[in-house]
Amino acid sequence: MLMLGIETSCDETAAAIVSDEGVGPARIRSDLVFSQLAEHRPYGGIVPEIAARAHLDRLDALIAGALDEANVGFGDLAGVAATGGPGLIGGVIVGVMEAKAIALARRLPFIAVNHLEGHALTARLSDEVAFPFLLLLVSGGHCQLLAVEGVGRYRRLGTTLDDAVGEAFDKGAKLLGLGYPGGPAIEIAARRGDASRVALPRPMKGRAGCDFSFAGLKTALRERVDEQRELSDSFCANAAAALQQAIGECLVDRTANALAMFRDLCPDGRTLVIAGGVAANQALRARLAAEAASQEFAFVAPPPKLCTDNAAMIAWAGIERLKLGFTDPLDFAPRPRWPLDAKAPPALGAGVKA
């Protein structure tokens, strides 16, 4: 079974061919990504209209390149999967309409994939993780803890009450003049900094439950910045280290509560998975791996390339859904918001996106 995957939910245009044959990463026959960092860097963040136009300009060539690299044609495909949401609606529409056109012209099944489910199932592509498992999903727009019981079966244990962790990294990097994207910039600067030199809070740490909050942490960092007469290299490095450490402690604290909750909900599950763009941060991976080990859980983090937005995860989610008979009609409407756990109450801020 060969699946074409298309990803256009944010600022990466991506196409991939993935097969369910073989084991591990070898199942990825091709995985092409065009990053729009250069287009958005002058604005210090993502401009939706620019992103949608870049998807239109690049997607056809990326699909052709993915097919060529995999040495297959449209006639070899079992289906076409595209991110159907959540995300910037202009970009999502571009990918969905392209996938629908291919499906209609080639008489292929069309699968609309929840972008978050793509992240959630990546560990099954890279490491063949069995259900159920606990997922910490951390990215620029999402921060959640979910019990993953099967394809399409998610139970949200916690979410952000305001801002996502990736947004906190981006805003922190902007305040410190470290550039965009913020996550990698903070991680690099933190390596030469002393976290103890800049005092920052740990929002929600020590409280019951699994919810997150990062708005206050951003405000505290801005106050520390405003106290400086000038932003020296040493201060920026120390502040970056302090921000990364504070975020890490918050993630570990909330995840520790979720591990205990998950143990009761899913007695057969003993794996913690971290996914999403922030999961590429090596310092955060190490802290979470240690916490998982302390509670006798296995820890799985997909390769960094599969943590950031990519089409391989969308193709793989399409395979998982198609094998269960889950397909979508060609009148599927792209969704700017699409919760994995439809029964979970809505949350404020960034959490409502998920």
Alpha carbon 142 to its chain centroid, in Å, reads 7
- Categorize the per-residue pLDDT at 36 as very low, low, confident or very high, splitting at 50, 70 and 90: confident
* Average confidence (pLDDT) over 231-254: 98
- Categorize the per-residue pLDDT at 51 as very low, low, confident or very high, splitting at 50, 70 and 90: confident
pLDDT over 90 percentage in the chain: 86
Label residue 168 exposed, middle or buried (CB < 10 Å: 0-12, 13-18, 19+). Answer: buried
- Categorize the per-residue pLDDT at 42 as very low, low, confident or very high, splitting at 50, 70 and 90: confident
* Average confidence (pLDDT) over 279-301: 97
Q: What is the pLDDT of residues 65-108, one digit of tens each?
A: 999 999 999 999 999 999 999 999 999 999 999 999 999 999 99
Q: Is the pLDDT of residue 293 over 50?
A: yes
Q: Is the pLDDT of residue 352 over 50?
A: no
Q: What is the pLDDT of residues 138-148, one digit of tens each?
A: 988 889 999 99
Alpha carbon separation from 113 to 4, 81, 84, 117 (Å, rounded): 12, 7, 5, 7
pLDDT given at position 354: 36
Q: For the chain, what is the mean pLDDT?
A: 93
pLDDT given at position 351: 38
Listing DSSP states for 209-238 in one string gives SS-B--HHHHHHHHHHHHT-SS--HHHHHH
Q: Is the pLDDT of residue 350 over 70?
A: no
**Residues 37 and 180: beta-carbon distance below 8 Å:** yes
Alpha carbon separation from 21 to 63, 195, 311, 316 (Å, rounded): 21, 46, 18, 11
> Domains of the chain (ranges plus CATH)?
2-123+305-338 (3.30.420.40), 131-301 (3.30.420.40)
